[in-house]
Structure formats: C-alpha cells, structure tokens
Amino acid sequence: MEKINQWLKRYFLFVLTGLFLVIASSAHAISLISDEETENFLHATLRPIFKASGTSFNPRHIYIVNDKSLNAFVIDGNSMFVTVGTLIAADSQNEISGVLAHETGHIQGGHILRHKIQAQEVQRVALASMLLGGAAGLAAGRADVSIAAILGSQGTAINSMLSYQISEERSADEAAVKLLKKINQSPVGMLNFMKKIQKQNLVQGIEETSYFRTHPITAERISFLEKATKESNGAKFGPQEKEFSRIKAKIFAYIEKPEQTFIKYPPSDTSIEAQYARTIAYFKDNRIETALNNIEKLVQAEPNNPYFYELKGQMLLETGKIKPAVSNYRKALDISPHSSLFKLNLVQAMLEDSPNAREQQQIVDMLNQVLIYNPQSEAWILLSRAYGLQQNASGYNYAAAEYSFLIKDFTLAKKQAEQALKSNPSPALKLKLDDLLSRIKEQEKEDIRNNPYH
C-alpha cells in the first residue's frame, strides 16, 4: 500500500482509464476502486443471476474492493462486493459467475437478515466514507481524484458479520447451482474457485484467507459441487470471456509493479489484453512515449473501443496535453454517450483548457446529466466550479451547498444555500434551494434526536 501511495503522489494520484484508486488510511482498511469497464463486466455477469433469483438489481450497488485476497460478500441492500484478487485469480467468467451466484444464494436464504443491524451500520459507514472521499477531490481540484477511506478499520467487523455457518454455506451452494442452471452455466467454475481458495489456505497456525474464515469450506461442500458439475450440461465459459480477459489484465497492471506485468504479459504475447496491460505498465514506469505509441496501436486495432480512448485521454491529460486529451475523451463519450464516468472525464479535461462560454454551458449540461443518474456524486463540486466560470453566483453556491450536504457538513451547506438565495436565483433553482434547506433542517432535527445532549 505504501508503494502504491508513493506512485500515486508521483503521478498525481495515479488515475488512468477512469480507475479511481481509493487509498485506505489503515493497514487493515478496506478500500474501493471504480472502473467502468470492470463494473460493466460485473453488471453483465450479475444481472442474469439476480434475475434468475428474483432479486432486485441495481448496478450502482456493485463494488470492487482494492484487496488482493480472494473474497466476495453481500450486505444489506443487496450490495455486492468483489475483491480485485478474486478477479485476477479467476480463470474464466464462469468462475466469477459461480462466486456471485453463491453470494446471491446467501441473499435468497435470508442469511444476511441475521446480520441486518450490523450490515446496515457497515453499509452506512461505507457509503458515508465514499461520499467523504470527494473532499480529497476538491482539495486536488480534480473530479477523478476520489479518495476515501472505505470502512476504515471496519474490516474486522465485516469478517465477523459475514461469518456464515456451515449449514448456510451449503444452502448457498445449493441455491447457486440452481441459479447457474437457470442461466445455462456449469458449476465447474464455482468448484474450481473453491479449490483455489482451499489450496491457498495456509496451515500450521498461519492465518487463513479472509474468504475461508468467513465462508468455511468443507470436503462435503466440494463433494457436492463435484457431483453437481458432473450432472450439469451448462456452459463452462461465460458470454463475456473476452471482456473478462481484458479487465483481468488491466487490473493486474494497475495493482502490480511494472516488472511483474512484463513477466506475466511479455512482449511475445501479442494479444489485445497483453498489449493493454503493458501500455499501463509502461506509463507507470514513466516510459511515456512507449505507452502513447502502444495505446495508439490499440485504438487503431479497435477504433470503436471507448476504453482505449479513455486510457489515451487520461495519459495525455496526465502529461499536460490538454486539447488532445479532450478530443479523446469526446471520442470515448461519442461511443458510449450514456457513460457518467466519461462525462466526468471530459468535463475535467475541458475545465483545464479555459473553456469558452459555449463549452462552459456544455460542461454544466453534462454535469447535470450525471447528477440526475447519481445525485450522490463529486460532480457537485465540478458543477460549482462551472457555474463560477459563468459568473452564476446562485448556481455556484447551490452546487457547493449540495456538495457540503453530501459530505455531511450541514452548517456550511446551510450558509451556502442561504447565500445562493441572496443571488437572485431562477424560480427553478429557488425550488431546489428550498428543498435543500428542508433536507438540511430535517437532518439537523435527526442529529438532535440522535444526540440530545450534544
């Protein structure tokens, strides 16, 4: 983690291809990353599983944990957490499907309910911490620098909260096998991944893997899955295997040292995923021209791949080439026009390029679109900045107030909202300000109820 922190400082917080590295403040902390390419893969993998189980699916409730251990878990609200270690260790999408199906089995079995109070508290802390991460982005003046200590020292609490009983594990296995059958997937991946976990366990008093502690594996469970695999006619590979191989290479390149990436993906490997990984490694290794040449080759090979334009845009932005960065972010957004992350990337680059009045309005429009989809976003602080460029005092203070409310600085939010009211806001904005002030008032009342002697 310290090595990652050093690298982040060197490269202005190590942000590439929309990968928001969330650095924990504690050696035992759990931290999250956000990467649209990986998240879209997980959405595509989990959606049919949730549909087969009758579970409500929300793509914003899937989180990638920046941890190399093999682990996955669900908490109250059907929020799914998957570690980068799990993504890297898996050999196929089918294995990831097995992991996610097993966790979905815990939801179906109502196993989360017995931890409901603890889960709600952990989730509350996690979400609040994610929102607080925007403060670091504000300090750096960057939308894509979203640093948060997620759950802090709550890792132990999660392990305790999600320590399932053997009976619950078997129940989740049975549910997972049924779910995989419904989506025409073999449980072989689930079996193989479980064997990997078991193999990684250390013996003779050395601590076992986190997943093993919270999801105890028995010979009986493995025997059950071996039998289920023999009886299954489902596919042994998923429909997005190509995408999986790429995000696996990408994540590996981000979290490992460049020399490790070059060993795993040597120049003799000419596959797209290997070139993808080496491009990131070259950039991390400060071999900028080589990295830019590599990404250009990838763009030429797949001119309709938005993630390559995104990576190229980020590399250009990080090396001070603002206008070309804007151009590449626009291309990424043209290909994926509904991507909130691409809009934030483009806005960030445009704000670095002294936008004219027309571009300022484009920025405002894009940020408002992002906030419709996700009102709990660092886009508020960028919107405040954009309104400031337009010399729109009421909009500037309103967006700043929403951000302050987001990070739970209600006193500051109230002052900013009241200041916005003094700046002759439009009727539509006045309604928003009235709503915000009402929310602040309700929050103040709740704080008094929760802390009557404070």
Q: Are 330 and 322 in contact (CB under 8 A)?
A: no
pTM: predicted TM-score of the whole model, two decimal places = 0.78
Extract the tokens encoding 390: 């337009």
184 within some domain: yes
What is the sign of the dihedral through the CA atoms of 138, 140, 145 and 147?
negative
Q: Show the domain range for 206.
A: 2-231
Residue 340 reports pLDDT greater than 60: yes
Looking at residue 363, its pLDDT comes to 97
450 confidence band (pLDDT: 50, 70, 90): confident
371 within some domain: no
Q: In the predicted model, what is the mean pLDDT of residues 22-41?
A: 66
Of the two residues 315 and 115, the one the predictor is more confident about is: 315
What letter does residue 80 receive in the DSSP assignment? E
| SS3 per-residue string spanning 336-348 | CCCCHHHHHHHHH
Residue 114 reports pLDDT greater than 70: no
21 within some domain: yes
Residue 146 reports pLDDT greater than 60: no
pLDDT per position as a tens digit, 2-26: 333 333 333 323 333 333 333 333 3
Looking at residue 267, its pLDDT comes to 95
341 within some domain: no
pLDDT per position as a tens digit, 152-170: 333 444 444 444 566 778 8
Which residues lie below 8 Å from residue 390, measured CB to CB, with a gap of 6+? 357, 360, 361, 364
Looking at residue 58, its pLDDT comes to 82
What letter does residue 79 receive in the DSSP assignment? E
- For the beta carbon of residue 24, count every other beta carbon within 10 angstroms: 23
Looking at residue 211, its pLDDT comes to 52
Q: What CATH number should be reported for the domain holding residue 65?
A: 3.30.2010.10
What is the sign of the dihedral through the CA atoms of 55, 32, 140 and 257?
negative
Looking at residue 55, its pLDDT comes to 85
Q: Are 378 and 143 in contact (CB under 8 A)?
A: yes
Residue 358 reports pLDDT greater than 60: yes
412 within some domain: no
387 within some domain: no
Beta strands at 79-83 and 62-65: parallel, antiparallel or unpaired: parallel
pLDDT per position as a tens digit, 48-65: 999 999 988 888 788 898
Identify which of 150, 135, 145 has the alpha carbon closest to the alpha carbon of residue 14: 145
30 confidence band (pLDDT: 50, 70, 90): low
The total domain count for the chain is: 1
pLDDT per position as a tens digit, 405-437: 999 999 999 999 999 999 999 999 999 999 999
Query: What does pLDDT average to over the chain?
Result: 81
- Dmax over CA atoms of the chain, in Å, equals 72
Question: What is d(CA 74, CA 134) in angstroms, rounded to the nearest whole number?
Answer: 24
Of the two residues 374 and 301, the one the predictor is more confident about is: 301
62 within some domain: yes
Identify which of 46, 45, 88, 90 has the alpha carbon closest to the alpha carbon of residue 67: 88
Extract the tokens encoding 86: 């799990």
Q: Which long-range contacts (CB under 8 A, 24 or more apart) does 376-380 make?
A: 376/127, 376/131, 376/406, 377/134, 377/340, 378/133, 378/134, 378/137, 378/138, 378/143, 378/146, 378/344, 378/403, 379/143, 379/340, 379/344, 379/347, 380/134, 380/406
pLDDT per position as a tens digit, 246-267: 999 999 999 999 999 999 999 9
Question: What is d(CA 113, CA 358) in angstroms, rounded to the nearest whole number?
Answer: 52
For tokens 């929102």, what's the residue? 131
424 within some domain: no
Crossing angle (nearest 10°) for helices 410-421 and 427-450: 160
What letter does residue 200 receive in the DSSP assignment? H
Distances (CA, A) of 379 to 27, 159, 352, 414: 29, 33, 15, 19
